[in-house]
Amino acid sequence: MTKARVLGIDKDTTKTREDRIIQLSLRALAVLKRQLALYRDLKARRLIEHNQIFFKDDGTSIRNLSYPAKRWRLSLERLGQRCQLD
């Protein structure tokens, strides 16, 4: 990975200007593959116009970090996990 997004602003390089290797669990990799398939399907059918792999339920891109934080909080609550994101 040689690109980064900081506070919603795309950067051409990371701070260190070096690639970062991120190891994912098999479950996380499966989620990413499903999301990529969904993105490609919606993009091919012209139902989304952006290049963001993750997006809102209505297909619009995520522009505010409070949206994923709320979704994460809901997921944790449904799993019965304590959540302290504030």
Contact in structure between 11 and 4 (CB atoms under 8 Å): yes
List, for residues 5-59, the tens digit of each pLDDT value. Answer: 666 666 666 677 777 788 889 999 999 999 999 999 999 999 999 998 889 888 8
**Helix (H) or strand (E) run with residue 75 in it:** helix 66-78
Report CA torsion sign: 18, 21, 61, 37.
Answer: positive
Q: Using the structure block, give the residue that is written with the tokens 């302290």.
A: 84
End-to-end CA distance of the chain: 29
The predicted model scores a pTM of: 0.62
Q: What residues pair up with 4 in beta bridges, in sequence order?
A: 11
Q: What residues pair up with 44 in beta bridges, in sequence order?
A: none
